[in-house]
Amino acid sequence: MTNVSAAVRGFGPVFVLLFGLQFISMGAMEMSGPFWPIQIKVLSSSDNVFGLASVGVYVGPMIGMSLTSALWGKIGDRYGNRLMMVRALGGLAVTQLLVAAAQDVWTIVALRFLQGACAGYIAPAQAYGVQITGRKDRASLFAWLQIATNVGSLGGAFLGGLILDRFPFAAVNLTAGAVCALCAVIAWSSLPVPALGTVASNPGGAAIAKPAASTRVPIAALLGLMGMLLASRMVLQVPFSLYMTEAFGARHWVAGLTYGLLACGFVVAAPLWARLFENRAPSYVLGGNVLISAACALVTQLAGSTGSAAVFALLYFIWGALLGGTTPVLLALISVAVSNDRQGSVLGLAQASQQIASVSGIIAGVGVTQLFGLEAAFPLVATLYALSFLSALGIWLNTANAEGSRP
């Protein structure tokens, strides 16, 4: 509660609305997330169709988002990120309503792709947050918006299950569409238009000290590092429940609870990481991510080798806590490095790269476990984190040397 109160005092009342919109809209979109295989199975004419469509229904939105996020970001820089938030919520509402009426698996996959292409809410929300808060405490802002996404996802999946227990699958999508439409109306009517010069009026309030011209942050390298870290996490997206069943004989509710501990760890630790990295030089933040990457490699290797479900669950929580120090602070580092009129395009590019990384991680996880069995999942994750460690180490050394050579 103390952290929440501090965030409200620091960012102002608009932050509450921004947080609430992110929490509710992301929760609405995740209402159907865990249950798509059930619907696809009912509508599929064969096992081959089910296999392809059950992957496409998840990967399709990611591909669509990766293709359009940078474009929406550029439009947001020109016409306003608030407008792009409303556009994304409206697009989500319309496509959810269309999906509710679809009774063909390939129509659903196509609509899910269109949904991703029309969406891209998170990047303009981040850019808008930077504008409305005057560039201050950027790492904390991104951490709290990511927390809204994680908590909303958990709550949305639970609510979707409750609806599905009592109503047809279409009711889940209809409810989600109505919620997104309501969020779009609230965003349009309640979010203030950022005043001109909002960001420029407070150039010294960034959460991470803005680097001097001689110490430029390597944006492309940071995007690559974020992508590697995210791909490592997404390897287990598909095989997780199967692994829990095979390795521990766990019941479904135990698997679901353990899966949620990753997000729980993130929610608990992300504000603490943001505070630790606040007002720090880029080399300090990157040095922290070197250690985090190494810790993730160790934790996931231990998780893959333990025979205790309780130890596995604890390690999963620790893993989530470590992840709280990665994406939000790296995004803040990238955001600080660019001018206000490029926030939307750069954050949109970051979102696109994250979607590509997510797809890559999912495909790698499915491919490796199909070829070598479920026991190969965690060694793959640990190996990818080891590569992330080497990448973070190289970026940190270059950045530290550049800072050390400043006059």
For the chain, the structural domain boundaries read: 1-206, 207-407
Out of 172-186, 187-201, 243-257, pick the least confident. Answer: 187-201
Q: What is the pLDDT of residues 219-251, one digit of tens each?
A: 889 999 999 999 999 888 777 877 888 888 877
Encoded amino acid at 370, one letter: Q
Residues 254, 241: Cα–Cα separation, whole Å: 10
Q: Taking all residues of the chain, what is their mean pLDDT, rounded to a whole number? A: 82
Helices (H), 80-137: 81-101, 105-118, 122-132
Per-residue pLDDT at 207 exceeds 80: no
More confident residue, 255 or 191: 191
User: Could you tell me which residues come within 8 angstroms of residue 337 by beta carbon, excluding any fewer than 6 positions away?
Assistant: 210, 211, 216, 217, 219
Place of tokens 């269309």: 98
Please choose, from the candidates 185, 194, 188, the residue with its C-alpha nearest in 3D space to the C-alpha of residue 77: 194
Q: What is the pLDDT of residues 351-400, one digit of tens each?
A: 788 888 988 998 888 889 888 988 999 999 999 999 999 999 999 998 88
CB atoms within 10 A of CB 167: 12
CATH no. for 1-206: 1.20.1250.20
H or E segment to which residue 19 belongs: helix 13-29
Confidence at 210, pLDDT banded by 50, 70, 90: very low
Per-residue pLDDT at 7 exceeds 60: no
- pLDDT value for 208: 43
Cα atoms found within 13 Å of the Cα of residue 43, Cβ hemisphere only: 20
Confidence at 158, pLDDT banded by 50, 70, 90: confident
- The phi and psi torsions of 183 (rounded to 5 degrees) equal -60, -40
Encoded amino acid at 3, one letter: N
- pLDDT value for 127: 81
Please choose, from the candidates 316, 313, 317, 301, the residue with its C-alpha nearest in 3D space to the C-alpha of residue 389: 301
Average pLDDT in the 80-105 region?
90
- Asked if 291 contacts 277 with a C-beta cutoff of 8 angstroms, the reply is no
What percentage of residues in the chain have a pLDDT greater than 90? Answer: 28
- pLDDT value for 286: 92
More confident residue, 211 or 55: 55
Per-residue pLDDT at 177 exceeds 90: yes
What tokens appear for 64 in the block?
A: 């669509």
- Asked if 225 contacts 326 with a C-beta cutoff of 8 angstroms, the reply is no
pTM score, whole prediction: 0.74
- Asked if 70 contacts 348 with a C-beta cutoff of 8 angstroms, the reply is yes
Per-residue pLDDT at 202 exceeds 50: no
Per-residue pLDDT at 197 exceeds 70: no
Average pLDDT in the 207-222 region?
60
Please choose, from the candidates 92, 129, 24, the residue with its C-alpha nearest in 3D space to the C-alpha of residue 347: 129
- Does domain 207-407 fall into CATH 3.40.50.300? no
Average pLDDT in the 328-336 region?
84
Encoded amino acid at 226, one letter: M
